[in-house]
Structure 1
Amino acid sequence: MTIQLTTDSGADVPKHLQEAWDIKVVSLFVRFGEEQYKSEDITTKDFLERVSTGKVFPQSAAPSPQDYYDTFKAIDPAKPIIHISLSSGVSASYNHAVMAKTQLLEEEPNRDIYLIDTKSASSGMILMLDDAIQMIEQNMSAEDIALHLERRVPYLRTVFLLETIDNLIRGGRLSRAKGAIAKTLNVKLILHASEEGKIDVLEKVRGAKKAHRRFHDLIGEYIKDPAEKVFVMTHGYAKEKCDDVLDKVRERYAFKDVYQAETGPVIAAHAGKGALVMSFFSDLTHQEKH
């Protein structure tokens, strides 16, 4: 391709799409105490098993500015770079990419590097990458593609349905007192990536069946005509569950394309096993919706 797409492993792009789209992925890290792994070096299955049986709750870490610098530097200088980043609201990844870009441009000022803060994660980043691919295939310039993607960010919706809130509690993102109340009342949390790119509670629903129905209903509240839109769903080591939900989504909403992937360890550390993460472009921005 005439343009090089890069991203970080918070995107959860499956290997076949990495190859088909020629994407270079900069790895985030997960730590169990003093042990650190690149997110690509541990499977989600093994990671979740270790979380459930271990006493040490893992921490995630962004790639260093040097990691981004090395990735950008190795790309043919004649190729513009468009980098699709994990939300600056949940990770230092974007800021570290900015630092790497600044350093490289000091050395090679003729480089074209565009950084997109998606204000999202996982399925939302896959959706943005798909959007970029469509425009590359239309021979649009890197500058025009980057401008288009920036304009798309306010319309990007990323919604999480959690099977369990245990990881939120253990990771300190939800207090134990609130967690205990939610479990007692059988409350399921529907989270979303906010306008600022932070992961916030969107709704609290009593019972799993009601939560799943609400998860489906939300799509229709954001989109009138899905025929020209793409839908992406990632799952926390729960492919059968994801397949079932996607079947229901397809029956109800005629999306142009549907992608499915498994969340990597970084996203799974917070969302937990069985989580579903869906993304699509809304008809309205966050501000217009409210």
Structure 2
Amino acid sequence: MSYEIVTDSSANLTDEMINKYDINIISLIFRVGEKEFYSYTKGVTTDNKKFYEMMRNGETISTASIDLQLCRKVFEETLKKGKDILYIGFSSALSGSYNAGALIARELQEEYPQRKIIAVDSLSASMGQGLLVYYAAEQMIHGKSIDEVKDWILNNRLNICHWFTVDDLVYLKRGGRISSTTAFVGTTLGIKPIMHVDNEGRLIPVGKVRGRRKSLEALAKQMEDTCINPRSQLVFISHGDCIEDAHTLEKLVRDKLNVKDVIINYVDPVIGAHSGPGTIALFFIGTKR
């Protein structure tokens, strides 16, 4: 093809998908104490299980958006091959990564005026962003032009549904999404929040249930209520080191909706640092977010 797709490590795509579609990944950064790590390095498997073990052990985790020099390097490697770029970035309402990438894109457009560099805000996160990238890549390999794929993303990104729950409210409290009182009471009573990503790309609490099983059932119910043509859908599930719960949710979705297939992967360390161990998220195409 005459163009390549670039996205952030926050898309949480599997290595198989990255390799199949030759997707270029710009890694976000996380820090454990004073040590800095890339969330994704091509050809290297990030030890996500160890990361979540460190969180459970109380390690201090901080995060950063994309490294500008790394972003420029990834873009230029594609441009120097004589190819255009379609950059699909992490929701600008949740991270500064998209705006940083779009800035680099504008700078490089001046240096490479013969090339086309398109930056699109996914308004999505985790494997919701990944699902959007997957559909874009499918269209690319089937011959759609860069502008056709860009237009499809803009017309369909608000149909990429994200439904989340977490197991431990302390991480949402640290991120300022809930109060200390809410976290304490919720933890004591076994309350689990139901959240989604809204049309502005923000993570918003929309409900709560008591107990882990009911929270997983609530995610499946949201899909049942709004999904489009489930039998033809590839559904994504991401998890914060709780694979058994991910498989439970997979079974609920398969039993209720007979979906085409389900892909499961870890929530990467940059997003996981804010959502915590035990995060479960379900992504699909629906009538609305």
For the residues of structure 2 that align with 1:221 and 1:59, how far apart are their CA atoms? 36
Cα RMSD between the aligned structures?
1.8
Instruction: Give the equivalent residue in structure 2 for 1:22.
Output: 22
Out of 259, 262, 281, the residue aligned to residue 263 of structure 2 is 259
1:66 maps to amino acid: Q
- Secondary structure at 1:127's aligned position in 2? helix
- Aligned residue for 1:60? 63
Question: Is 1:162 aligned to 2:166, yes or no?
Answer: yes
Match of 1:89 among 93, 101, 115: 93
User: Partner residue of 2:77?
Assistant: 74
Per the normalisation by structure 1, the TM-score is 0.92
Structure 2 SS opposite 1:75: helix
Where does structure 2 lack aligned partners over 5 or more consecutive residues?
none
Which residue number in structure 2 is paired with residue 231 of structure 1? Answer: 235
Residue 113 of structure 2 corresponds to which residue in structure 1?
109
How do residues 208-219 of structure 1 correspond to structure 2 at under 5 angstroms?
Answer: 208-219=212-223
Contact 1:44 1:268 in 2 (8 A): no
Instruction: Give the count of matched residue pairs.
Output: 284
Write the letter of the residue equivalent to 2:210.
R
Distance in 2 separating the partners of 1:101 and 1:109: 11
Distance 2:246 2:59 in 1: 29
Which residue of 1 is the match for residue 195 of structure 2? 191
CA contact (8 A) 1:27 1:40 kept: yes
> In the alignment, is the contact (CA less than 8 A) between 2:192 and 2:212 conserved in 1?
yes
- Cα deviation, 1:23-45, whole Å, max 9, x if unaligned, reads 11111011234322111375221
- How far apart in 2 are the matches of 1:224 and 1:264? 27
Q: Secondary structure at the match of 1:255?
A: coil
Given residue 13 of structure 2, which amino acid in structure 1 is its aligned partner? V
Q: Does 2:40 match 1:40?
A: yes
CA contact (8 A) 1:6 1:83 kept: yes
Structure 1 Cα separation of the partners of residues 117 and 262 of structure 2: 29
The question of whether the paired residues in 1 share the 8 Å contact of 2:55 and 2:277 is answered with: no
Which letter maps to 2:83?
A: K
SS for the counterpart of 2:40 is: helix
Q: Post-superposition, which runs of at least 4 consecutive aligned residues in structure 1 deviate over 4 A?
A: none
Deviation at residue 55 of structure 1 after TM alignment: 5.0
Q: Distance in 1 between matches of 2:268 and 2:107?
A: 29
Alignment of 1:234-245 (within 5 A): 234-245=238-249
Separation in structure 2 between the aligned mates of residue 93 and residue 222 of structure 1, nearest angstrom: 30
How far apart are 1:213 and its partner, in Å? 1.8
Are residues 1:278 and 2:278 paired?
Answer: no
Between the aligned partners of 2:262 and 2:273, the Cα distance in structure 1 is 25
Whether 1:151 aligns to 2:155 is yes
Aligned-partner SS, 1:95: helix
What displacement does 1:237 show? 1.3
After TM superposition, give the deviation of residue 59 of structure 1 in Å. 1.5
Distance 2:245 2:210 in 1: 19
Bigger drift between 74-83 and 95-104 goes to 74-83
Structure 1: where are the runs of 5+ without partners? none
Distance 1:21 1:191, change over 3 A: same
Percent identity of paired positions between Structure 1 and Structure 2: 28
Q: Judge which range, 2-11 or 95-104, deviates more.
A: 2-11
Q: What letter matches 1:271 in structure 2? A: S
Q: Which residue of 1 aligns with 2:224?
A: 220
Aligned partner letter, 1:217: K
Contact 1:233–1:279, Cα closer than 8 Å, also in 2: yes
**Paired position in structure 2 for 1:7:** 7
Please, what TM-score do these two structures have when normalized by structure 2?
A: 0.92
Counterpart-to-counterpart distance in 2, 1:239 and 1:142 = 36
Per-residue Cα deviation, 1:231-254 (whole angstroms, up to 9, x for no partner): 111111122221222122111112
Structure 1 173/283 Cα, relative in aligned 2: closer, same or farther at 3 Å?
closer
- CA distance in 2: counterparts of 1:190 and 1:154, whole angstroms: 19
Q: CA deviation at 1:224?
A: 5.0
Equivalent residue letter for 1:71: V
